[in-house]
Amino acid sequence: MRRGAQVELDGDAKPVVRARRRRSYGVISPLTRHILTVNLLALALLLSGLLYLERYQDWLVQRQLDILTTEARIFSGALGEGAMEPSSDEFNEPAGTLSWTLAAQMVRRLGDTTDTRFRLYDPKGKLQADSRVLSLAKGTRVQIEELPPLPDGNQLTQLGIDLYNAIVRALPTRDHLPVYAENRAADGSHFPDVQKALNGEAATHVWRVAGDAGKQDMVLTVAVPIQRYKQVLGAVLISRSGSEIDTEVREFRVNILKVFGGVIVLTVLMSIYLASTIVRPIRRLAAAADDVRYGHGRQAVLPDFSGRHDEIGDLSQSLRAMTSALWDRMDAIERFAADVAHEIKNPLTSMRSAVETVQLVKDETRLRKLLAIIADDVGRLDRLISDISNASRLDAELSRAEANSVDLRRMLTMFKDIHENTLGAAPDEGEEGEAGPPPVTVEVELPPASRNLVVPGIEGRLTQVFQNLISNALSFSPPGGKVVLAAKVVGDRVEITCTDDGPGIPAGKTEAIFDRFYTERPAGEKFGTHSGLGLSISKQIVEAHNGRIFAANRTDATGKVLGAVFTVQLPRG
């Protein structure tokens, strides 16, 4: 089978080989595209808001109307003073009459010097003068039209302007404006602002002019009355194209687009850089994880990005720690399998020797001894297999079970009560009715009830830990000895100690006693009674609760060993 292949079983229990597959994302990874999309979308929303310059355009329109109103008032005042004909009857016409000929000349002069169109209306609303109309001999009239500005010759610029105009024309921003009808200019009744001016009020108006290809230009008009001594002699209508406003808005938008163009380029570059700092290490971690999963041996090493001091650095540390824990667990499983094979092999070897000898022995006494040995080995093997089964299921049970609040005060008191009511109820009697050796007592030393001795954990497994420690202490304690269970709060942990009066722990074995299948039993105890897994299982349970268990000897001032003490530290709830 080639390296990097994965074997699975289908429905017919036939092996299916699936080769390791590395997904290819192309030049731009999905994560990079997501980052670019989010950043560019935010910029696009901001840009669309800035390009919607309706309020700015309204401000420009109002400013232009104010300028036109000022010009109209100045021109109206000039007409009221400089284009008047003397009155023939100063009592009947104190204000005089307006000379439309002089007024037309003044309008024509202004039309030559400005781009504003001036029109004069008499009190009846009839057009009397127009700065865009030339009156020639024999009643001929020539209409003057303003030519559009010449293109600057840059085709790229003109293309951009045309594209901009096409987009603006597609937006219904001026559909609400009334249509400006040039062919009705001769009658002032078609202009509401002229009607207001003839009534003595200044008025402004904004119109739209429908052109070719959907083009809609603006026309601004201002009408003010021509007055002398409060008498309305006519009206001045000033109009100006809104092309300057459109040009100013367009240039403002173009400047915004230029700035945003640079911002977008910078955003894209920064997004690609940001994505690369995220994508590249993640790809390396994924590739290394694949090597660990599909490779042989332990040559694959996950890259260390802890120097980044960010989430990816934390991820690399977690993956490295997880990989190390997996290798440790695999080593533990290998050692456990080897230890199990070794421990099972001992009683099996003894049983095989006894069975082989039974076939040759004729003596009844020796035969019974051999059968007793076989029975002991079978019992030992049964206990060993049961303990091994419990130890192998422990990890799975600890991972599935939910932690609850465990009251250690109640638990330790329960152990004392059980011992007093069962194991230590009365001393054993000798063969002739004499009292046997005094029993081992169990005492509990707890802090005041106000101190909290509650820890999060699995109550059944913690009970197993202290049950193993108490059983171990009772087996090593001499007759009349004492086992003391004590608990106290140390910082954020609860510390529980189990002290006995036994011979203590052999020198250099304070850590080895927690190894699997390690046995160091009291003198005179029957061989094979214990499998050597109790303390190992206790350590496994305590560490699964994020705690710590260790052992030491109790000594007096001279260094004499007084017994052993086992300490369990568990985090408080």
Residue 355's pLDDT is what?
A: 79
Domain boundaries, the chain: 81-87+94-244, 304-400, 403-425+439-573
Average pLDDT over residues 276-305: 80
Average pLDDT over residues 330-336: 74
SS (H, E, C) 109-144: HHHHHCCCEEEEECCCCEEEEECCEEECHHHCEEEC
Q: Identify the band that residue 7 occupies on the pLDDT scale cut at 50, 70 and 90.
A: very low
Q: Which of 248-257, 309-318, 376-385 has the lowest mean pLDDT?
A: 376-385
97: closest CA among 237, 236, 233? 233
Q: What angle do CA 288, 290, 292 make, to 5 degrees?
A: 70
What are the residues whose beta carbons fall under 8 Å from the beta carbon of 156, sequence distance 6 or more? none
Looking at residue 3, the DSSP 8-state letter turns out to be T
Q: Say if strands 482-490 and 441-445 run parallel, antiparallel, or are unpaired.
A: parallel
249, pLDDT greater than 50: yes
Residue 393's pLDDT is what?
A: 67
User: Exposed e or buried b for every residue in 224-240, given b needs 16+ CB within 10 A?
Assistant: bbbbbeeebbbbbbbbb
Give the dihedral of Cα atoms 54, 57, 62, 64; nearest 10 deg: -170
Looking at residue 149, the DSSP 8-state letter turns out to be P
Average pLDDT over residues 361-383: 78
Side chain identity at 356, as an amino acid letter? Answer: E
Q: How far is CA 260 from CA 46, 83, 157, 254, 272, in A?
A: 10, 55, 18, 10, 18
- As a whole-number percent, the residues of the chain with pLDDT over 70 amount to 72
What residues are paired with 141 via a beta bridge? 135
pLDDT digits (tens, 9 = 90+) for 185-213: 778 888 888 889 888 889 988 888 876 55
Average pLDDT over residues 392-410: 77
Q: Identify the band that residue 9 occupies on the pLDDT scale cut at 50, 70 and 90.
A: very low
Q: Which of 73-77, 198-202, 291-295 has the lowest mean pLDDT?
A: 291-295
Residue 565's pLDDT is what?
A: 93
What are the residues whose beta carbons fall under 8 Å from the beta carbon of 344, sequence distance 6 or more? 381, 384, 385
Residue 25's pLDDT is what?
A: 57
pTM value is 0.47
pLDDT digits (tens, 9 = 90+) for 83-120: 777 665 554 555 567 788 788 888 877 766 677 888 88
Average pLDDT over residues 228-255: 82
Q: Identify the band that residue 436 occupies on the pLDDT scale cut at 50, 70 and 90.
A: low
50, pLDDT greater than 50: yes
Q: Which of 36-45, 440-449, 475-484 has the lowest mean pLDDT?
A: 36-45
The answer to whether 118 touches 111, Cβ cutoff 8 Å, is: yes
User: Exposed e or buried b for every residue in 19-45, given b needs 16+ CB within 10 A?
Assistant: eeeeeeeeeebebbeebbeebeeeeee
CA 542/CA 461 separation, integer angstroms: 9
CA 110/CA 548 separation, integer angstroms: 101
Q: In what order do the strands lie in the sheet with 216-228?
A: 127-130, 117-121, 231-241, 216-228, 203-210
Q: What is the CATH number of domain 403-425+439-573?
A: 3.30.565.10
Residue 137's pLDDT is what?
A: 45
- 81-87+94-244 against 403-425+439-573: fold identical: no
Q: Which of 113-122, 368-377, 429-438, 534-543 has the lowest mean pLDDT?
A: 429-438
Average pLDDT over residues 308-324: 83
The answer to whether 391 touches 534, Cβ cutoff 8 Å, is: no
CA 444/CA 408 separation, integer angstroms: 11
What are the residues whose beta carbons fall under 8 Å from the beta carbon of 274, sequence distance 6 or more? 35
Q: What is the CATH number of domain 81-87+94-244?
A: 3.30.450.20
Average pLDDT over residues 379-390: 72
Residue 486's pLDDT is what?
A: 92
The residue with greater pLDDT, 427 or 45, is 45
- As a whole-number percent, the residues of the chain with pLDDT over 90 amount to 6
pLDDT digits (tens, 9 = 90+) for 133-182: 765 444 555 555 565 555 655 666 667 666 766 666 666 566 678 888 77
Judged on CB neighbours under 10 Å (0-12, 13-18, 19+), 492 is: exposed
The residue with greater pLDDT, 31 or 78, is 78
514, pLDDT greater than 80: yes
Judged on CB neighbours under 10 Å (0-12, 13-18, 19+), 434 is: exposed
Average pLDDT over residues 360-386: 77
Residue 522's pLDDT is what?
A: 52
Residue 391's pLDDT is what?
A: 67
Q: What angle do CA 459, 460, 461 make, to 5 degrees?
A: 95
Q: Which of 12-21, 108-117, 282-291, 315-324 has the lowest mean pLDDT?
A: 12-21
Q: How far is CA 430 from CA 387, 425, 427, 435, 524, in A?
A: 34, 16, 10, 6, 18
Side chain identity at 426, as an amino acid letter? Answer: A
CA 367/CA 374 separation, integer angstroms: 11
CA 125/CA 123 separation, integer angstroms: 6
Residue 13's pLDDT is what?
A: 45
237, pLDDT greater than 70: yes
Residue 497's pLDDT is what?
A: 93
The answer to whether 129 touches 119, Cβ cutoff 8 Å, is: yes
Q: Which of 275-284, 308-317, 470-479 reaches the highest mean pLDDT?
A: 470-479
Residue 102's pLDDT is what?
A: 82
Phi and psi at residue 241, to the nearest 5°: -70, 145
The residue with greater pLDDT, 315 or 175, is 315
CA 143/CA 141 separation, integer angstroms: 7
Average pLDDT, the chain: 76
User: Exposed e or buried b for every residue in 393-428, given b needs 16+ CB within 10 A?
Assistant: ebeeebeeeeeeebebbebbeebbeebeeeebeeee
408-418 and 459-476 helices, crossing angle to 10°:
40
Q: What is the CATH number of domain 304-400?
A: 1.10.287.130
Q: Which of 10-19, 392-401, 469-478, 535-544 has the lowest mean pLDDT?
A: 10-19
Average pLDDT over residues 334-343: 69
Three-state DSSP at 29 gives coil
